[in-house]
Amino acid sequence: MPTYHKPEAKTIQELKDIAHKLRIDSINATQASKSGHPTSCASIAEIMSVLFFNTMRYKLSAPRDPSSDRFILSKGHAAPILYAAWAEAGLFPVEDLMNLRKIDSDLEGHPTPRLNFIDVGTGSLGQGVAVACGMAYVGKNLDKADYRTYVLVGDGESAEGSIWESLHFAGYYKLNNLCVIFDVNRLGQSEATSLQHQMEVYRKRLDAFGFNAIVVDGHDVEELCKAFFEAASTTDRPTAIIAKTYKGKHFPNIEDLENWHGKPLGDAAADVVAHLQKQIRNPGPIALAPPSPQKESAPKVSIKGVELATPPAYQKGEQVATRLAYGTALAKIAMNNDRVIALDGDTKNSTYSDKLRKAFPERFIECFIAEQNLVGVAIGAACRDRTVAFVSTFATFFTRAFDQIRMGAISQTNVNFVGSHCGVSIGEDGPSQMGLEDIAMFRAIPGSTVFYPADAVSTERAVEMAANTPGVCFIRTSRPNTAVIYENNEKFEIGKCKVVKQNANDSVLLIGAGITLYEALKAADELEKSGIHCRVIDPFTVKPLDQEGIIKHGAQCGGRVVVVEDHYKQGGLGEAVLSALAEQRNFVVKHLGVDKLPRSGPPTVLVDMFGISARSVAAAVQEIIKM
């Protein structure tokens, strides 16, 4: 291990001074905004000072430089001091801090990447470590670069299980380029934290999770400098710096007291600021400059223009599960771009993401059964455009990570989610394994794109498009085999439906997706025998939905629409169609979906029992034809 050299006394003093300046900035900003969390800032003032003015290597000229160290403030409510650190370092004028939380300022209540120095949104607690793990994993294994990743976690949020998923991941993959700092300030929002200042308990837990666990006085800049040095010199494990701190440190009559969470200091502010100013030895400009990255260690990469290495190659009518086509496409897009990666949570042999692992083992990240971390790692891996990440598990298990996906949208992530085993058509495994709310969930993510391909050809194209589409993409794949219905050279567009059956005299428009497209087709064929002609469309994307196409074809069918989906009736394809038609008079829609809790049984029996088979579609057509 390299030898530690204590910083000069002058540096130590300046780091102390900076900590107090950051405290004052945080107080002033939250006074101006009349809301915010100054006491949560105060407990980390020395940590921020040491990180931003002594330890981290980064460029003010390029805050998202790929070779720079990363910093994630997992306890996002301490945003004011993060903004203050960047301002005091010189990124923007300190006076701008007074715009905190204003409608026309990007200095929001919690950090978001609207700011050029923020990688991910934080504020929903317990998510920063997963993101940091994704960054550190990429840094170590893909970039093979020397940048380090720091993540600052509150003690309150360390009760979140997601944190422990991520710590386990970091320990398992020996992410020695990761440093997790715990701000153990003893106080939560509404009472003391469960562990308060039991530093030894934290140490034991982190040690058991595979970390080099160092307990420090979080208000002692010297101890912090040394601990960060030790972290950077530890080669076999990630490091946890467990900092004993006090909420509202150096705020007289406020420090370590309850009932000061999330409140500006109000009338107490002036006295506190005066007190803090007295602690500062050198009130002049800050002399310390942030250390720069030693070299451009991260390789230049491109994540644009991802393409299938070879076009889809199926026979029409061939029976292929869309989940299998996903695996095939994933391996194909990975051939031409070495930044395509896949992550899974021990379901890779069911989702078929293992096809990428077989082809490119170094680009597959097994995250084991821990979906929150799985999603967070993917978001971290995709930061700064380092990778094109595809993350897969059973569709319904993404509910486990809904909060992470929601925050992913705030983080402007481009991660692609692939959920297999949707709907009652999975069969015997029963309701716990059936994705029946996944479309509702992903539709409610701002800016998301939701693909629901019915056959293997469209699935391969969905994968290719998702890789190139900004924002959260979701691809819903099915467990049963479905017939290939598209030519291998068929062109697909996001927001454009496909008409898979039509006649001039169609009187009802049927809309199905995935397995229900086939039920709709079967019903249409059957109805044709009795002279009822139905047009059938495959939406391809549920969001955006082809509003224009549906209105046009629906109108041509007398305004009669039947939608059938293997999903609960709330928030899925049916309601997407209803939204598209909302402002149209003279439409009627029959909506078939799963409307009660399903059970175990054979797929085809369940599809029929829960009212989404061809039989039910035909019955709905017989009714709507009279409307």
Give me the active site residues, please: 371
225/548 Cα distance (integer angstroms) = 61
Residue number, 489 or 586, with CB nearest to its own copies:
586
Q: How far is the CB of 160 from its own copies (least distance, A)?
A: 6
Measured over the CA atoms of residue 365, residue 368, residue 371 and residue 376, the dihedral's sign is: negative
149/72 Cα distance (integer angstroms) = 8
Residue number, 68 or 347, with CB nearest to its own copies:
347
Structure tokens at 590: 């029959």
Contact range with its own copies by CB under 8 A, out of 90-98, 223-231, 405-413, 496-504: 405-413
State how beta strands 508-512 and 560-568 pair.
Answer: parallel
Question: Which amino acid makes up residue 590?
Answer: K
Four-point Cα dihedral 255, 220, 130, 206, nearest 10: -100
Tell me: does residue 17 bind its own copies (CB under 8 A).
Answer: no
Q: Segment 219-258, which members bind its own copies (CB under 8 A)?
A: none
495/561 Cα distance (integer angstroms) = 18
418/413 Cα distance (integer angstroms) = 15
Residue selected from 10, 204, 316, 358 as contacting its own copies according to rule CB under 8 A: 204
Q: Segment 448-477, which members bind its own copies (CB under 8 A)?
A: none
Tell me: does residue 536 bind its own copies (CB under 8 A).
Answer: no
Tell me: does residue 362 bind its own copies (CB under 8 A).
Answer: no
Residue selected from 156, 264, 293, 312 as contacting its own copies according to rule CB under 8 A: 156
Tell me: does residue 554 bind its own copies (CB under 8 A).
Answer: no
Residue selected from 432, 504, 529, 531 as contacting its own copies according to rule CB under 8 A: 432
Tell me: does residue 551 bind its own copies (CB under 8 A).
Answer: no
Tell me: does residue 588 bind its own copies (CB under 8 A).
Answer: yes
Q: How far is the CB of 539 from its own copies (least distance, A)?
A: 15
Q: How far is the CB of 460 from its own copies (least distance, A)?
A: 23
Residue selected from 403, 490, 525, 526 as contacting its own copies according to rule CB under 8 A: 403
Q: Segment 372-391, which members bind its own copies (CB under 8 A)?
A: 372-373
Tell me: does residue 609 bind its own copies (CB under 8 A).
Answer: yes
Total binding residues toward its own copies, as defined by CB under 8 A: 115
Q: Segment 76-105, which members bind its own copies (CB under 8 A)?
A: 76, 101-103, 105
Contact range with its own copies by CB under 8 A, out of 237-245, 294-302, 303-311, 392-400: 392-400
Tell me: does residue 565 bind its own copies (CB under 8 A).
Answer: no
Q: Which residues contact 439 (CB under 8 A, 6 or more apart)?
A: 450, 452, 476, 542, 565, 567, 571, 572, 573, 576
213 touches 219 (CB < 8 A): no
Q: Segment 476-505, which members bind its own copies (CB under 8 A)?
A: none
Tell me: does residue 168 bind its own copies (CB under 8 A).
Answer: yes
Q: What residues are paired with 562 via a beta bridge? A: 510, 590
- Locate tokens 């017939």: which residue? 483
CA–CA distances in Å: residue 471 to residues 374, 443, 456, 465:
18, 12, 24, 12
The CA angle 408-411-412, to the nearest 5 degrees, is 95
What are phi and psi for residue 267, nearest 5 degrees?
-65, -20
Structure tokens at 301: 């990469």
Q: Segment 109-128, which members bind its own copies (CB under 8 A)?
A: 109-110, 112, 114, 121-126
Sheet containing 149-154: give its strands across: 70-73, 149-154, 178-184, 239-244, 212-217
Element housing 133 (H / E): helix 128-137
Tell me: does residue 437 bind its own copies (CB under 8 A).
Answer: yes
251/231 Cα distance (integer angstroms) = 30
Tell me: does residue 586 bind its own copies (CB under 8 A).
Answer: yes
Q: How far is the CB of 393 from its own copies (least distance, A)?
A: 11
Four-point Cα dihedral 99, 103, 106, 108, nearest 10: 80
Tell me: does residue 161 bind its own copies (CB under 8 A).
Answer: yes
Cis amide leading into 544 (omega within 30): yes
Q: Segment 338-357, which members bind its own copies (CB under 8 A)?
A: 344, 346-350, 354
Q: How far is the CB of 283 from its own copies (least distance, A)?
A: 31
Residue selected from 590, 612, 616, 621 as contacting its own copies according to rule CB under 8 A: 590
Residue number, 140 or 590, with CB nearest to its own copies:
590
Q: How far is the CB of 600 from its own copies (least distance, A)?
A: 4
Tell me: does residue 431 bind its own copies (CB under 8 A).
Answer: yes
Residue number, 173 or 540, with CB nearest to its own copies:
173
303/466 Cα distance (integer angstroms) = 12
534/516 Cα distance (integer angstroms) = 15
The length of the chain is 627
Q: Segment 169-198, which members bind its own copies (CB under 8 A)?
A: 172, 188-191, 193-194
Residue number, 58 or 164, with CB nearest to its own copies:
164
Of 425, 544, 532, 381, the closest CA to residue 473 belongs to 544
Q: How far is the CB of 603 from its own copies (least distance, A)?
A: 11
572/100 Cα distance (integer angstroms) = 38
Element housing 332 (H / E): helix 322-336
Residue selected from 278, 300, 596, 626 as contacting its own copies according to rule CB under 8 A: 596
Residue number, 206 or 221, with CB nearest to its own copies:
206
Q: How far is the CB of 199 from its own copies (least distance, A)?
A: 13
